[in-house]
Chain A
């Protein structure tokens, strides 16, 4: 699959973000194609989460512009941003389910808040989406009764239930056993295949598995894009920084701080 000819849905134009004296993003130019799975790689502290927060407008750049779905969101006010965020679904690292709400209420949350659907219609949608993530009939359980993998899947159901245009996955498989990781990876691909217009952005450390699921890969280093291309471009790259990251070795040209 080549993402080069795809329509760009998310575009960073010379985005700089500075925290104190630390420049996390340094005139970052980034393009994410529509309807594909894009993987953002980079070692810890390289600005992956900061990038995701800029995409959702949770952070504003010091300079540069972020364009999402044709709109420059950099100067959006809080009200515009709130409306804009309805385009997104996000799966958090720890799923971030509301512990005081049942699975049903968790998944229903975006529908209850943003739609005028009746209780019965919402229940039908919840049942359908839970089935899609492989957890039919779990509506009445509380998050504390679920396994880590189940929590992730409920989190995914919640992120997808209002049919977002873009779904963001923050380290979806970090800290999980290989079987659950594999299952989550498969689910990411399934979800993406089911809805061809859905753009998926995945931040992951689980390099090899993530490369298997991605259509497009972006590696960040020192606040800029070190490489953007297909997983194959990444695997075949002779760039010493990429090679070192791929090999997972401390010794090499990559700087640690």
Chain B
């Protein structure tokens, strides 16, 4: 009896989780649709878009370079060590470039920008929400989605691919250093092998992800901010929830995009 009770509770808990997740996804899509509609008509706030581009870039550039370099070096070391077992260490640059371009750069850059820029967006907007600043905006006949969300969304869509590109370059530079200094490969061989294996398709596959990640990060961050309530505690809670949701969403969407890229190439 008790065990059947346990099973029933378990099933309803799973049911609730599925229902909540679908509901959440639905309201995210509606919010995204609204933001895209707002982006499509004037006023086009170019000044705010540039401000946000600067903010996202300035906020994340250093950690993107540093992380790209570290990940590139670590992956090259790991892969190179395995490749050395069958004498293929000259392929280290190619393996590193392929894994960075298609997977690691967009995902890691997405994580870093979600943690820096995304969290800052939620914190700023939720503070505005709890201090009546969003109400003030509404009262001044300005749509908060048009004023706050649209510039952040456009700036993220433009900046994410750029930062992913920088991540790729930093990672590949680190790989080159590892290849030359640890695996004794000359620069010519390194680039020759890399160019024979890695194509623009790989870079494009990663950039496709970064566009979509830009939308996910900015829209989720802003949505959590606009839904915040309850003073300083509400700001903290909104920011934490936003970051956790952004990371989970990036991982899930990354898998889905990768699946489609591989299956329907």
Measured CA separation A58–B140 after assembly (Å):
11
Given contacts A82-B143, A88-B141, A168-B139, 20 further A-B contacts (CB under 8 A): A56-B139, A58-B138, A58-B139, A85-B139, A85-B140, A90-B136, A90-B140, A94-B132, A96-B131, A96-B133, A97-B133, A98-B136, A99-B127, A99-B131, A109-B140, A109-B142, A113-B142, A113-B147, A114-B141, A158-B140
Chain A 93-104 interface 0/1 with B at a Cβ cutoff of 8 Å (1 = within): 110111110000
- What 1/0 mask marks residues of chain B from 125 to 139 whose CB sits below 8 Å from any chain A CB? 001100111011011
Tell me how far the C-beta of A164 lies from the nearest C-beta in chain B, rounded to whole angstroms: 10
Task: Report the separation of the CA atoms of residues A99 and B123 in the bound assembly, to the nearest whole angstrom.
Answer: 13
A86 on interface, CB distance cutoff 8 Å: yes
Q: A94-B132, A96-B131, A100-B124 are in contact. Are A88 and B143 (CB under 8 A)?
A: no
Interface residue A110 (Cβ < 8 Å from any Cβ of B): yes
The answer to whether B142 touches A92, judged by C-beta atoms less than 8 angstroms apart, is no
**How far does the alpha carbon of A86 sit from the alpha carbon of B43 in the complex, in Å?**
16
A239 in the interface, Cβ–Cβ < 8 Å? no
Interface residues of A in 80-135 (CB under 8 A from B): 82-86, 88, 90, 92-94, 96-100, 109-110, 113-114
A143 to chain B, nearest CB (A): 10
Chain B's closest residue to A162 (CB) is B140
Q: How far is the CB of A180 from chain B (nearest CB, A)?
A: 19
- A157 CB, min distance to chain B CBs, angstroms: 13
Chain A residues with CB under 8 Å of B140's CB are: 85, 90, 109-110, 113, 158
Nearest chain A CB to B86's CB is how many angstroms away? Answer: 57
Question: Chain A residues near B135 (CB, 8 Å)?
Answer: 58, 92, 96
Interface magnitude class on chain A: 20 to 34
Q: How many residues of B contact A (CB 8 A)?
A: 16
In the bound complex, residues from chain A placing their C-beta under 8 Å from that of B143 are 82
Determine the main DSSP class of B at the interface with A: helix
- The smallest beta-carbon distance between B38 and chain A, in angstroms, is 12
Question: Which residues on A are within 8 Å of B, measured CB to CB?
Answer: 56, 58, 82-86, 88, 90, 92-94, 96-100, 109-110, 113-114, 158, 168
> In the complex, how many angstroms separate the beta carbon of A59 from the nearest chain B beta carbon?
11
- Name the A residues within 8 Å of B147 (CB-CB): 113
Query: Which B residues touch A113, using CB under 8 A?
Result: 43, 140-142, 147
A85, A93, A168: the one contacting B141 at CB < 8 Å is A85
Q: How far is the CA of A86 from the CA of B127 in the complex (A)?
A: 25
Which residues from chain B contact A92 at a C-beta distance below 8 Å? 132, 135-136, 139
**Chain A residue at minimal CB-CB distance from B143:** A82
Bound-complex Cα distance A255 to B136 (A): 33
Residue of A nearest to B141 (CB): A85
Contacts of B127 in A (CB 8 A): 99
Closest chain A residue, CB of each to CB of B134 = A96
How far is the CB of A2 from the nearest CB of chain B, in Å?
A: 31
CB atoms of A88 and B142 under 8 A apart: no
**In whole angstroms, how far apart are the Cα atoms of A56 and B140 in the complex?**
10
A82's nearest neighbour on chain B, judged by CB, is: B141
Does the CB pair B141–A96 fall under 8 Å? no
Q: What residue of chain A has the Cβ atom nearest to residue B142's Cβ?
A: A113
Cα distance A109–B47 in the bound complex, in angstroms: 13
Q: Which of B94-145 contact A (CB under 8 A)?
A: 124, 127-128, 131-133, 135-136, 138-143
